[in-house]
Chain A
Amino acid sequence: MLFNDYPFLLVFLPAALLIYRLVDPFPHLRIGVQVALSLAFYGWGSPSFILLLIASIAVNWFASVVYGRVKWKTVLTLVVLLDLGVLALFKYANFILANLGHVFEATLPTLDIGLPLGISFFTFHHIMYLVDLKRGKAPLYTLDRYALYIAFFPQAIAGPLARWSEVMHQFGRQVYVPGWQRQFCIATCFIALGLFQKVVIADSIAHLLDPIYTQAARGPLGSGDAWLAFCFSFQILFDFSGYSDIAIGLGLLYGVQLPYNFNAPLRSTNIQDFWQRWHITLMLFLRDYVFYPLVNLRFLPRRWLPVQFFGAMLITMALCGLWHGASWTFVLWGVVHGLAQIACSLWRRYGPHFPSWLGWALTVLFVLATGVIFRAGSVEAAWHVFAGLTQPLPLARGPHLWPLIVAPLFAFLLPASQDIVAFFTRRPNPFLAGILGLGLFALLLHMGGRDLHEFVYFKF
């Protein structure tokens, strides 16, 4: 089930809100009902893997309880390794087999298994909790609360990657208390803004770009199409930012404030700034659970610490790339971003001052260029796009290119979604709220006449 689909918006969401409204006065029922709703949501979208999700919750929670009794850290280490193993099996097994086949010049079999929805995200949620438990930072939780942390439907499939410390205390709170109407207005704004980004901007760009990337996988591009393909980063920005905003809005409808995931990243003036504004929750995860542990490892002499620091940065970004998909192009994308961060870090320390406009322009160009590698699926296809940039812009396509004019304007000029929502919800305004209702209806009409595009991050 997709957030941008009628079954979710017109059936599941109203039903889930109604059910939760009925149980809201009963504290002992709230979390259980939210878990049931979340499992129903997951089961609807990925029925074949619902047992995997339930087993994953049970095993990880049981390990935390065992650790609470015996304080044996190996239990947690083993379960984290098991989580990573399951992720590797579903997401990377065929990639590993294919590469082993290349190394040993043999044809190894491929596994015919699908990718469970949200596996990358719920694995990371497990890891965040278990590592913090091991570090003595996290307490033990009851099964229902832990299950909700992992399966909470607004965030289960593609984040935001919420820390246990950010959301656990919010689960089970009464929603319909004084002030709930304001929360719901804010939630509706987030959902409307998210849907607009997804179905109007990102899907319109996808409609233009998908056939071009299909062609790029087959051979060179003509007619200036490469210039359109070069703009893929706008699509993924509005696709994922839209998804995150809808998730945040849905969370608020159940009394849970999820962390923000984007902060107008294409207004960044350098690549380090960019990574603090793009998929923020993933970067915080990588920082705390990959980068810092790598930097704090004592395996190089003190004078080599900068090398270790930059090495850790590069490895973290390479893993960030690999996390996005089992392909060397994703690794390449991550490594290139890691190198850019190292270069940026060195420049800021030793290089001359950069005017911020130049930094912004270079950052945007870099993000757009690397976005081509991210989307193309192979270095060859990416090269077809880059080679096609020698052709003139396809201006003859005129009005059909509107998504690629609107998207950059929004990305460069508008503040982050949370700031836009905060601006419009400073005080109640029934007139504006009516306009928002009309806007939501227009979005429903827009969705009704088009084919559905899955959120890009559902693949990750």
Chain B
Amino acid sequence: MSSSISSSESDSGWGRSLLACLGTLIGAAVLALALMVVVDPYDSGKLGLLGINGVNSRLTQITAASRARDPNFNAAILGNSTAQMIEPAELSRAAGLRFVQLYTTGSAPREQLAVLDFFLRHHKQVGALVIAADPGWCVHARPKEEGAPFPYWLYDRSVVTYAMRLISWQAIEQAFQRLGIGLGKRQRMNPDGFVSYEDIWPPGRFKEINAPRDPAPAISTEMRAVFPEISALQDVVRSLPPDVAIVIVVPPTFAPTVPKHGTEAALERRACDAALKAVTEGRLRSNFINYRIDNALTRDRDNFADFIHYRPVLARKIEQGIAASLRDGESAKTDF
């Protein structure tokens, strides 16, 4: 009898322990999810009852969502860090549009297309798109994704896909940062997204790193004209109203990395340029500008932080070229 009582007491003790464990686990998860629903840690627009605007983070892969859905903008700059130095305020002033910087550090074209799709879903009226096409656009076959995974779930249409990713330390950290913004204890980051990389790569220094990642040459002549990333962009552009201006720029790189005339690499580059140019052809106020050329500006080390990241001097030239294109289309004078 006593053994039965003791066993039953013991069972109830274990039962309470199990309840305590699962209760704490489920309770903590429910609290965290409630916080996420109220705050929307990445300002994706999918959740959020408090109406806090903006984010405070330098992780561009996740902060681009907040900017891409900001109704105060009607034009966007897309690319990776090779688009970072293009100032949206300068373009806005010159073109009479409201530009937002949507660059995502280290991103591949398909990731930039995910951001573009998100931007287009949140803007019925788009004035212009500027795309900085680095060599990643010139691949002949989509590479297997490597490195840090891109948060496609943030740019996805599904709330469930998004919500499944909110149980993470990063989401909790972002949620508290957003709460800080809502309470006025933190500044949201620049709404147009411009951040100069010169605060980490100060002027006057050139590092011999980040060589342009030109893709492997095509295995056949037919393959040379196949650019799956550009085709995907072409499909998006075709779906846009005809009055949406598209300017594609090939960012400058340090002159010794520009493919030499007559080489296989130059042929590849020319084929890619032709495919990119075809995306803008026939559109109003649209243009393709190749800044990856060998000239006095790109030969000067002072104009670069490394092989692919250019300094403000070149960025201003590029902005002028984009502004001229948005005004005059293919006949624009792009002094470089």
Contacts and interface: CB of A to CB of B under 8 A. Distances in A.
A206 to B, nearest CB: 14
Contact of A451 (B14, B28, B149, B170): B149
A449 B21 CA distance: 23
Given A448-B167, A449-B168, A441 B28 contact: yes
Interface in B1-54: 7-8, 10-11, 13-25, 27-29, 32
B25 A437 contact: yes
A444 B167 contact: yes
B57 to A, nearest CB: 13
A185 interface: yes
B171 interface: yes
Nearest to B23: A437
Interface in A146-194: 178-179, 181-182, 184-185, 188
B286 to A, nearest CB: 38
A430 interface: yes
A390 interface: no
A435 B17 CA distance: 10
Given A178-B11, A182-B11, A440 B18 contact: no
A428 interface: yes
Contacts of A448: 165-171
A445 B168 CA distance: 4
Interface string B157-173: 00000001111111110
A451 B23 CA distance: 28
Interface in A422-460: 427-438, 440-441, 444-449, 451
B47 to A, nearest CB: 16
A62 interface: no
A185 B18 contact: yes
Given A434-B24, A437-B25, A445 B14 contact: no
A6 interface: yes
Contacts of B165: 448
* Residue from A179, A182, A433 having most chain B Cβ neighbours under 10 A: A433
Nearest to B10: A428
Nearest to B170: A449
A441 B29 contact: yes
Size category, A interface: 20 to 34
Tell me which of B8, B22, B23, B148 has the highest count of chain A C-beta atoms within 10 A of its own C-beta.
Answer: B22
A433 B169 contact: no
A179 B148 CA distance: 46
A188 B21 contact: yes
Given A433-B21, A444-B29, A428 B13 contact: yes
Nearest to B172: A445
B25 A440 contact: yes
A184 B32 CA distance: 25
A437 B169 contact: no
A240 B8 CA distance: 37
Given A6-B164, A441-B28, A451-B149, A436 B21 contact: yes
Given A446-B169, A448-B171, A451-B149, A182 B14 contact: yes
Contacts of A447: 168
A430 B16 contact: yes
Contacts of A440: 21, 25
Contact of A179 (B11, B17, B32): B11
Contacts of A432: 17
A428 B11 CA distance: 9
A423 B15 CA distance: 18
Nearest to B165: A448
Contacts of A431: 20
A386 B166 CA distance: 42
Nearest to A184: B18
Contacts of B28: 437-438, 441
A428 B8 CA distance: 12
B149 A185 contact: no
A449 B169 contact: yes
B330 to A, nearest CB: 43
Interface in A41-69: none
A428 B16 contact: yes
A431 to B, nearest CB: 7
B9 to A, nearest CB: 9
Contact of B18 (A10, A181, A435, A445): A181
Contacts of A441: 24-25, 28-29, 32
A433 B20 contact: yes
B20 A445 contact: no
A302 to B, nearest CB: 57
B17 A429 contact: yes
Contact of B167 (A188, A430, A436, A445): A445
Nearest to B17: A433
B11 A434 contact: no
Given A179-B11, A438-B28, A433 B18 contact: yes
Nearest to A432: B17
A436 B309 CA distance: 48
A436 B32 CA distance: 17
Interface in B147-192: 148-149, 164-172
A218 to B, nearest CB: 15
Nearest to B173: A449
Interface in A312-354: none
A427 B19 CA distance: 15
A395 B105 CA distance: 29
A169 B332 CA distance: 82
Considering the complex of A and B, which 5 residue pairs feature the smallest CB-CB distances, nearest first? A437-B24, A448-B168, A428-B13, A449-B168, A181-B14
16 contacts: A6-B167, A178-B7, A181-B14, A181-B15, A181-B17, A185-B18, A427-B13, A430-B13, A433-B20, A434-B21, A435-B24, A440-B25, A445-B167, A446-B168, A448-B166, A451-B149
Given A181-B15, A441-B29, 13 more contacts: A179-B14, A181-B11, A430-B16, A432-B17, A433-B17, A433-B21, A434-B23, A437-B21, A437-B24, A438-B28, A446-B168, A448-B167, A451-B149
Interface of A: 6, 10, 178-179, 181-182, 184-185, 188, 427-438, 440-441, 444-449, 451
